[in-house]
């Protein structure tokens, strides 16, 4: 059984003071929750939030990283710097990175490789656009994203990965995929990983759903066999709403 995992992706929101306040409340609320929780604050708040969360069941993630270990990359942040700031996880290949910042599967794969080498666990995001879904390309796209994005990852390393299925049309739109649609995509994802690394490994990889998750729809989603958790954007910004999702 995979322990339910709820991750908060704050995107480009919250000042350091706001993030610290949220983390202090979360530390109290989730002290004995028995669920895995991850916060992904913006870079500027990582260190401050990490310090507060030390010793709590809430882990720290970055929202992105650069693929190089160091060097002349103005404005970028390396995996080692994220570890130094207290991160255990990093979100890689979020659809906003893919579309707004033109990240492709090859570049995303480089990031996954470097993250694992640096002892950061990737939260690797995949998902189809509305156009791809409507033209019945969803499974081809997911297969391509998985095969290319996780290229050259050993079976030993894949155990440290978390997959987040986030259909682009459901992100920030208020339009959630139905539990049945998500379950189909997740069981397909597990099958693709199983073909690459065997069912014993694939069955233990957490697959999260992301896309307009809120306190009302979370339990329906979590009742599905292959939905192991959620990656929450908008509804993770408010502690009361996030706490309801965590306690689904």
Chain residues in the site for ligand PGA (CB under 6 A): 9, 166, 171-172, 210-213, 231-235
Q: Least distance from C-beta 9 to ligand PGA, angstroms?
A: 4
Exactly one of 94, 103, 128, 186 is catalytic; name it.
94
Structure tokens at 155: 């079976």
- Between 4 and 234, name the residue whose CB sits nearer to ligand PGA: 234
Q: How far is the CB of 26 from ligand PGA (least distance, A)?
A: 17
Q: Which of 96, 128, 132, 166 is catalytic?
A: 166
Residues 168, 172: Cα–Cα separation, whole Å: 9
Q: Which residue has the tokens 């995929």?
A: 177
Burial of 51-67, coded b for 16+ CB within 10 Å and e otherwise, reads ebbeebebbbbbbbbbb
Residue least distant from ligand PGA (Cβ): 233
Nearest CB to ligand PGA, comparing residues 88 and 194: 88
Cβ neighbours for 57, distance < 8 A, ≥ 6 positions apart: 30, 31, 33, 34, 35, 36, 37
Q: Is 199 left (phi over 0), alpha (psi -120 to 50) or beta?
A: alpha
- Residue number, 50 or 234, with CB nearest to ligand PGA: 234
User: Judged by CB, which is closer to ligand PGA: 172, or 198?
Assistant: 172
Return the half-sphere exposure (C-beta side, CA atoms, 13 A cut-off) of residue 75. Answer: 0
The distance from CA 55 to its chain's CA centroid, rounded to whole angstroms, is: 22
Cβ 78 to ligand PGA shortest distance, Å: 23
Q: Is 94 a catalytic residue?
A: yes
CB of 214 to ligand PGA, least distance (A): 8
Q: How far apart are CA 236 and CA 23, in angstroms?
A: 12
Question: Distances from the Cα of 137 to the Cαs of 64, 128, 129, 144, 200, in angstroms?
Answer: 27, 8, 9, 11, 28
* Identity of the residue, 89 or 197, whose beta carbon is nearer to ligand PGA in the bound complex: 89
Let me know if 166 is a catalytic residue: yes
CB of 238 to ligand PGA, least distance (A): 12
Catalytic residues: 94, 166
């Amino acid at each position: 059984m995979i322990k339910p995992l709820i991750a908060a992706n704050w995107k480009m929101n919250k000042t350091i003071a706001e993030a610290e306040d949220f983390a202090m409340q979360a530390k109290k609320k989730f002290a004995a929750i028995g669920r895995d929780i991850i916060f992904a604050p913006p870079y500027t708040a990582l260190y401050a939030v990490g310090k507060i969360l030390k010793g709590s069941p809430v882990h720290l993630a970055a929202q992105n990283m650069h693929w190089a270990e160091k060097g002349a990359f103005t404005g970028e942040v390396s995996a080692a710097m994220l570890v130094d700031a207290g991160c255990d996880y990093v979100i890689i290949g979020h659809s906003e990175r893919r579309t707004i910042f033109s990240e492709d599967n090859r570049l995303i794969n480089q990031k996954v490789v470097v993250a694992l080498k640096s002892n950061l666990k990737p939260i690797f995001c995949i998902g189809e656009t509305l156009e791809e879904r409507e033209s019945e390309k969803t499974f081809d796209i997911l297969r391509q994203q998985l095969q290319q994005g996780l290229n050259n990852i050993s079976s030993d390393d894949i155990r440290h990965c978390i997959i987040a299925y986030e259909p682009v049309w459901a992100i920030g739109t208020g339009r959630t995929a139905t539990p049945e649609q998500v379950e189909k995509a997740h069981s397909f994802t597990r099958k693709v990983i199983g073909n690459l690394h065997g069912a014993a490994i694939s069955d233990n990889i957490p697959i999260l759903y992301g896309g307009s998750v809120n306190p009302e729809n979370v339990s329906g989603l979590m009742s599905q066999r292959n939905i192991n958790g959620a990656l929450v954007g908008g509804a993770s910004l408010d502690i009361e709403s996030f706490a309801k999702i965590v306690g689904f």
